[in-house]
Structures are given as structure tokens and as C-alpha cells.
């Protein structure tokens, strides 16, 4: 009985709190976007922001330099060699309005587009050209340019995109066994 009464009092306090303006002090590494009545109202970086919760929703996000370690990709070069690559992208957000109004999960979108660029750039080369381009830093420069073209419409600036791992791969084909236990077996191709 007491729990129900306390929950009701908490709900009433939260409801009344919607009518009181809120404020927050943000450091310069954070950006913010205000949506008033479902429409974009204003945006900025750091500082003091004030809003009425009943009319306004505020999104706060990091706009400082960020690094994403990308998942390994198993790819085939144009000469039929199998390689496994893993990359890293370093980026920041230059336009918080675009970032918040064009994608639901900005970091996930950055990750997906970086993986697309790496897959394209690696699979369009022979293994020897790939190795030469990695040593000469031509691959990193090309991947950064391509990623910047893909991510600029979302308010993202790509600072660096490169490979941190490049190894030869041994492909395995998994086949389902016809035995009683239905076990799978891996066969080296």
C-alpha cells in the first residue's frame, strides 16, 4: 500500500517537474540539439542550455575526436588471395544537427560506412599491390577520402582511416554432418 502511494507521489512530482525550466552546463566536448514540439529548434556546442521539458527534448552527444576499432573482415583480392583485415577510424562530428536528424545511431552508421570503404578498397587490389599501398600509405589516404565522401552528408569529418591488421587467411568450409548428433565439420579448402 505504501509503495503504491510513494509511486503515485513520484509520478505527480515528475509531472509537475515538466512545467519547471531545466538547465545544464555542458563542457566544450559535448554538442546539443533541441527539438521543440517535434521540430528542430537549435543546436550548439558546450555552454549553458535551458529548456522547458514539457515542450522541448534535448539530445546531448560527444563531438570530440572519437575512435572506433572495426571488426575484422575476410576478403578476397582481385588475384584470388584471401586476406583478413581490421581497421580503425578516427572522426569527429562537425554538424550536430545533421547527425541527429539523418541517422538513428551515428556511431553505428560511421562503423558501417568505414567497413564498406575498407572492403571496397581491399577487394579491388591484388595482394601485392595491396601490400605496396599499405607500406606507401596510399591505401590509408584513399580510404580516408572515400569515407569522407560517404560521411560528410551526416556531419562527420574523417580524420584518419587505416588498417591496423592485414594477414593472409586460410578459408574453411563448414559442412553439416549426416551423423546422429548432426555435428558440423570444418574442412580446409
Query: What grid cell was written down for 152?
Result: 560528410
What stretches in the chain show pLDDT beneath 50?
A: none
Q: What is the pLDDT of residue 93?
A: 92
CA distance linking residue 153 with residue 95, whole number of Å: 9
In this prediction, residue 183 carries a pLDDT of 55
From CA 152, how far away is CA 106, in angstroms rounded?
12
Domains by residue range for the chain, with CATH: 2-62 (no CATH), 66-170 (3.30.479.30)
Instruction: Record the pTM.
Output: 0.77
Given this model, what pLDDT does residue 86 score? 95
Name the grid cell of 45.
556546442
Q: What is the pLDDT of residue 123?
A: 95
Amino acid at each position: 500500500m505504501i509503495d503504491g502511494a510513494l509511486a503515485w507521489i513520484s509520478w505527480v512530482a515528475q509531472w509537475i517537474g515538466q512545467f519547471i525550466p531545466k538547465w545544464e552546463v555542458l563542457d566544450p566536448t559535448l554538442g546539443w540539439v533541441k527539438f521543440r514540439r517535434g521540430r528542430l529548434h537549435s543546436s550548439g556546442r558546450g555552454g549553458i542550455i535551458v529548456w522547458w521539458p514539457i515542450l522541448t527534448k534535448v539530445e546531448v552527444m560527444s563531438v570530440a575526436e572519437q575512435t572506433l576499432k572495426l571488426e575484422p573482415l575476410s576478403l578476397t583480392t582481385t588475384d584470388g588471395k584471401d586476406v583478413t583485415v581490421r581497421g580503425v577510424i578516427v572522426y569527429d562530428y562537425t554538424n550536430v544537427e545533421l547527425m541527429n536528424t539523418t541517422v538513428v545511431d551515428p556511431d553505428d552508421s560511421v562503423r558501417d560506412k568505414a567497413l564498406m570503404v575498407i572492403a571496397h578498397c581491399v577487394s579491388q587490389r591484388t595482394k601485392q599491390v595491396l601490400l605496396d599501398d599499405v607500406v606507401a600509405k596510399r591505401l590509408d589516404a584513399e580510404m580516408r577520402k572515400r569515407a569522407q565522401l560517404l560521411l560528410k552528408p551526416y556531419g562527420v569529418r574523417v580524420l584518419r582511416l587505416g588498417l591496423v591488421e592485414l594477414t593472409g587467411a586460410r578459408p574453411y568450409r563448414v559442412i553439416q554432418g549426416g551423423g546422429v548428433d548432426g555435428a558440423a565439420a570444418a574442412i580446409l579448402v
